[in-house]
Amino acid sequence: MKLRLAFFALCVSVLTACGFGRVTIVVTATSSPYPTPTLPPTHIPTSTLPPATATPEPPTATPVPVGVPLWMAPNVPPEFQQALDPLVRSGQYAWKSEAEARIKLISGKGDPASLTAQWVYVPVVPFPTVADDVRWEDIRRYWKGDTAALASLSGNKQPPVFVAASTTIKWLTDLLGTASPNVKIESVPPDGVVTTLWLRRPAAWSLVPFNRLDPAMKALTLDGQSVFNRALALDKYPLVETFAFTGDSQLIPGVMDSVKKTGKWLTTNRDLSRMTVIVMTGVTALTRATAYEMEIKGITLPARDILPFLQDADFVHTSNEVAFAANCPYPNPSYAATGLRFCSRDSYLELLKTIRLNIVELTGNHVNDWGTDAFAHTLDIYDANKMLYYGGGRNDEDARKARTIVHNGNTVAFIGCNPAGPAPAWATTDQAGSAKCDDTFIAQEIQRLKAAGDVVVMSLQYQEYYQYDAPADQVAFFGKYAQMGADLVMGSQAHQPQGFAFTGNAFIHYGIGNIFFDQMDALATRQMFADKLIFYEGRHVSTVLFTGLNEDYSRPRPMTPAERSAFLQTIFKASGW
């Protein structure tokens, strides 16, 4: 799978075995004590967020000769100035100093009749960071001068610098008091946080508003609590602030009414009705030893240990390479007896239903192993169970179609193809199969989807490499779809998980690895990812990585902390980081 951002990074390659399927669904930093690294520009991610207007202290919007004097506290995020500027331009209000203002926008409690806004902040580090969690008590200790309290975020190499927008620094100062002189703070524009985090890597961390998360950042859990958890109790989450109006009580209702009419006021920057969670997994092949284990130990047993990670997903994806066949024999776990000709029994669908699969990728190179009739039968099963598929279909036209899901205001389009073959796996004008790559069509289709406002996920059944780093040919092949405009480029072919890259505005994951398949011969093929992709207000904003180890030829289980740390270090190194 792949990430996004102005950031070229090496990758990671995967093992050599078999392949599978496809589907569709309805400013400059202030002076810093650190020298600027001499990394190539393409190795530094830049924000893909809409440009933000940095909040002056006080705001410096051109005052008008008439209007109600208005002031905004220096710890108020720039989104609020953007909401109020139309009122200033209309002449109703005028930016003034705090002493002159009759209406003030502040953090904390305001006038009882005031509109309020709840702002949620998230602790973040650069994406290639092994640490996953930070303690609130350690943040407090760090701020008071015990900078070693957060050294684990940099792999215990050195105390990390705090990189943040000026409004966030002021807000945290109001919350925790003046920072100790031992704390190194770097103030940057809101759009410069992600780039500076990477420049200061690994010794850098930040707090960002939820709506300004970026895929090149890793969102840390706070005392084990994920900001993406819909059940998160915000009254017990310390990084929450309320902003509200105070001042002349006779004028408050008027500003409230005027702000509502602009349609720009946000009551929260973490609106769960605008968030979509999609989990993308890698290779599924319910055949050979995997199928045998399912027959003996239970059809749904392979889902047991990964199911908790999937529970909060709105959509679950996999690349299912093997067709269902009514005449599929009882599975034989022997490679020598079965070889590479695969089928799945219809009863195995229960496993896919258990993980609530609703997006099926069909770019795999084994989809026609049991014949085109079996593949057509498989498509009937997916249709009957409302599982949208892409990257394969009943003929070449159906196979290459993009499929789009619309959920909570997010529109995500999936498109995929199989450049590796073999030829019998490809769909033709009158034969079912996987989609052969047609770059002329794909380039036009991606542009059409982007023009419609879609987030585009491009997935590929590429040649299978049994290595963590992606070779130059794979880097170039995946990169061209990022250049076409795809927001995410994901490798579904990998039996050995591979690394990541940020190219242009795209998030690239070269190989996710097996989820349900029997390759137990090497540690690398037992290792796997599942990528939880967070979409908010029409953008991919974050990725949460499940790292697993396959057991019993069939069952991925979460890695231990030591296993996860070693695996991520290997993957990030292979990614060129």
- Kindly report, residue by residue over 197-218, the tens digit of the pLDDT: 999 999 999 999 999 999 999 9
Per-residue pLDDT reduced to its tens digit, 403-441: 999 999 999 999 999 999 999 999 999 999 999 999 999
pLDDT of the residue at 232: 97
DSSP strands (E only) in 285-409:
315-320, 359-361, 388-390, 392-393, 403-407
Sequence-ordered list of residues with C-beta below 8 angstroms from that of 386, at least 6 positions apart, any chain: 358
Integer Cα distance of 379 and 260 in angstroms = 49
The structural domains of the chain, with segments of one domain joined by +, span: 121-224
**pLDDT reading at 296 higher than 80:** yes
144-175 burial, b at 16+ Cβ within 10 Å, e below that, comes to bebbebbbbbbeeeebbbbbbbbbbbbbbeee
Among the listed residues 464, 462, 519, the one whose alpha carbon sits nearest the alpha carbon of residue 287: 519
pTM of the predicted structure, to 2 decimals:
0.89
Q: pLDDT tens-digit profile of 344-374?
A: 999 999 999 999 999 999 999 999 999 999 9
- Pick 199 or 58 by higher pLDDT: 199
Residue 243 β-bridge partners: 107, 117
Q: How does residue 158 score in pLDDT terms, banded at 50, 70 and 90?
A: confident
- Reply yes or no: is the peptide bond before residue 58 cis, omega within 30 of 0: yes
Which position has the token pair 């003046």? 178
User: In whole angstroms, what is the distance from residue 403 CA to residue 529 CA?
Assistant: 24
Query: In angstroms, what CA-CA distances link 148 with 26, 153, 178, 221, 305?
Result: 48, 10, 18, 19, 35
Query: Nearest CA to 528 among 220, 313, 318, 289?
Result: 318
Number of H helices, E strands in the chain: 15, 27
Task: State the angle between helix axes of 472-484 and 439-451 in degrees (0 to 180), rounded to the nearest 10.
Answer: 40
Which percentage of the chain shows pLDDT scores above 90?
81
Backbone conformation region of residue 409, classed left if phi is above 0, alpha if psi is from -120 to 50, else beta: left
Which are the contacts of 434, defined by CB distance < 8 A and separation ≥ 6? Answer: 21, 22, 362, 363, 364, 365, 367, 368, 391, 392, 399, 417, 418, 425, 426, 427, 461
CATH architecture entry for 121-224: 3-Layer(aba) Sandwich (3.40)
